Structure 1
Amino acid sequence: MAQSLLMEIVVIIPAFNEARSIGHVISEIPSSVSEIIVVNNNSNDNTASVAEAAGATVLFEENMGYGYACLKGIKYLQNRSKPPGIVVFMDGDYSDYPEDLHKVVKPILDGEVDFVIGARSKALQEKGSMTPQQRFGNGLATFLMRLFFRSDFTDLGPFRAIRYEQLMALKMEDKTYGWTVEMQLKVLKKKIAYTEVPVRYKKRIGISKVSGTVKGTIFAGIKILAWIFKYSLK
């Protein structure tokens, strides 16, 4: 318990045109989080002003891409005078339940692992919250990770937590759709202790920029498979 009290928790939320949802997300993040960082990824709505009014630190990233936004948030943390203990990533579309954050960080606070995926348990999902292409992509990617790396991952869920030191050690680089799978593959390669915890999942507010479009779905699939096959050959 003494260890957990010393671990500052910060949240990074990449956001593109999430003005309708970002305020809800921020307001439901537990008070144990010391700073909420919203990276406004070139939105053309009021995402930034809504996030700032809700109490978040707002950064701006003009280069479009999920990975670009996450990397912006990481760079901000690197420039702080004191690094946090745990970094949590979640989406800004309100599909996650922010109050489940305590479940996601608990295995790290308890000293059991260094990386946790909030796995979108089918039993806890709202009907229609994941598209068929999302389910297929998750299933294929996690099957290949089991096949090539003996992984225990069942999901590529964006709701995740990692110790700051381990995050820095991963040297993340993907700028777009491959961010989540890159992180998981590097965790496997570096033999970082990890686990999954089941989390609830609901229909997002608005249309997904990835699974909600044919282009997004195709490019996400290509990036995910490219990372998996790249690492399988190393």
Structure 2
Amino acid sequence: ENDTVLGPASDGGYYLIGMRAELAAQREKVLRLLADINWSTSTVYAQQQDRLRQAGLSVAGLPTMNDLDTFSDLMHARNLNGFYLHAFIPDIRVILPVYNEAENLEYVLRPLIASHMFREIICADNGSTDDSPVIARSLGCHVTRCAERGYGATCLEAMRHIEAQGGCDVILFMDADGSDDPAHLSELLAPLVSNRADMVLGHRAADRAEAGALLPHQRFGNWLSTFLIRIFWKHAYADLGPFRGLRWSALRQLRMRDRNFGWTVEMQIRALKAKLRILEIPVRYRRRHAGRSKVTATVRGSFRAGQIILTTVFRELWQTVRRHD
């Protein structure tokens, strides 16, 4: 009854175009019908419909469907009724080390929840005395508790929780102060899900960092640590930032042990030793959303964290030397 049929997609595009056989056989005419459409916009369906009608063709519409163009589309679709590709969706978990971040948690967690990317969001609480655990649970997140103070210790406790559930496919680490930008979630996760990388690091590029987000002593400590890694392990890391993802199998292979602020540098050194496929991508880095840092807000805290990081570097170096003796 109609010359053409279009299936509209929920993002404004279309998932199907059909036409009579005699029309489809006219190659040049078909190409003109498809030419100069502003593709990858929310008006593609409307443009195509208008183009067909301007050519004197009748158009029938099909039911609207969800078009899975991107990784984010796929993760969002997992919550739709009737979705049947669950077996193909990776099990992704995120760990956020938390210590008295009640002012920031809702700001940080809501975009993660809205992304629909995570099977579980784990707030790894490190003995908070404010309402951080209450806020996390009220938003549907799982809370692990670690009485021992230390960044690495609380991450290891969260990992034990995941291990007890049989593990996962991909794990993401990010801070709970709002400094890591969730706009980069897909960029970090896609290479891991597609098995193109074992570890993806968010590089806090200077041209993408908000003014005041990285203090001078933080920049120096980061430079010194990456310099030492380049000297001893011959790999030029750009950063030691907290925003990072790994395939779960790769993370288990590293046998992480650091229980304090040497966690990130230990991970990156051990990734080199294990010959993991490593990718760094530039990410935007923001000032913390509210409150003061528990570590870098004071010179004493920064100095202590720097000591721990350098101790970790030389501990890993000593282990490497002993292994080759």
Fold match, TM over 0.5? yes
- 1:10 matched to 2:93? The reply is yes
| Aligned residue identity for 1:190 | A
Which residue in the other structure is 1:19 paired with? 102
Which residue in the other structure is 1:165 paired with? 249
Partner SS, residue 14 of structure 1? strand
| Aligned residue identity for 1:22 | L
Check conservation: 2:266, 2:316, Cα contact below 8 A: no
Which residue in the other structure is 1:223 paired with? 308
- 1:76 matched to 2:161? The reply is yes
Which residue in the other structure is 1:91 paired with? 175
Which residue in the other structure is 1:44 paired with? 129
Query: How big is the shift at 1:111?
Result: 2.0
Query: How big is the shift at 1:68?
Result: 1.0
CA distance in 1, matches of 2:94, 2:191: 17
Which residue in the other structure is 1:211 paired with? 296
Corresponding residue to 2:111 among 15, 20, 28:
28
Query: How big is the shift at 1:123?
Result: 1.1
- 1:202 matched to 2:296? The reply is no
Which residue in the other structure is 2:67 paired with? none
| Aligned residue identity for 2:181 | Y
Query: How big is the shift at 1:214?
Result: 2.4
CA distance in 2, matches of 1:228, 1:60: 28
1:119-134 alignment runs, 5 A limit: 119-134=203-218
CA distance in 1, matches of 2:100, 2:190: 31
CA distance in 2, matches of 1:116, 1:5: 21
Query: How big is the shift at 1:42?
Result: 0.5
Query: How big is the shift at 1:179?
Result: 0.5
Corresponding residue to 2:269 among 181, 185, 194:
185
| Aligned residue identity for 1:169 | Q
RMSD (Å), alpha carbons? 1.6
Check conservation: 1:177, 1:219, Cα contact below 8 A: no
Larger deviation, residues 202-211 vs 176-185: 202-211
| Aligned residue identity for 1:219 | R
CA distance in 1, matches of 2:286, 2:314: 31
Provide TM-score, normalisation by structure 2: 0.69
CA distance in 2, matches of 1:68, 1:223: 14
Query: How big is the shift at 1:150?
Result: 1.2
Query: How big is the shift at 1:118?
Result: 0.7
Query: How big is the shift at 1:232?
Result: 2.5
| Aligned residue identity for 2:190 | K
- 1:137 matched to 2:137? The reply is no
Query: How big is the shift at 1:98?
Result: 2.0
Equivalent pairs counted in the alignment come to 232
Partner SS, residue 297 of structure 2? coil
Q: Which runs of 5+ in 1 are unaligned?
A: none
In terms of Rg, which structure is larger?
Answer: 2
CA distance in 2, matches of 1:149, 1:95: 29
Partner SS, residue 144 of structure 2? strand
CA spacing shift, 1:34–1:99, aligned 2, 3 Å: farther
CA distance in 1, matches of 2:316, 2:297: 28
CA distance in 2, matches of 1:25, 1:229: 34
Provide TM-score, normalisation by structure 1: 0.95
CA distance in 2, matches of 1:109, 1:23: 27
Which residue in the other structure is 2:55 paired with? none
Q: Which runs of 5+ in 2 are unaligned?
A: 1-70, 72-84, 321-325
Partner SS, residue 33 of structure 1? coil
CA distance in 2, matches of 1:123, 1:179: 26
Which structure exhibits the higher relative contact order, with contacts defined as CA atoms closer than 8 Å and separated by 6 or more residues? 1
Corresponding residue to 2:199 among 111, 115, 130:
115
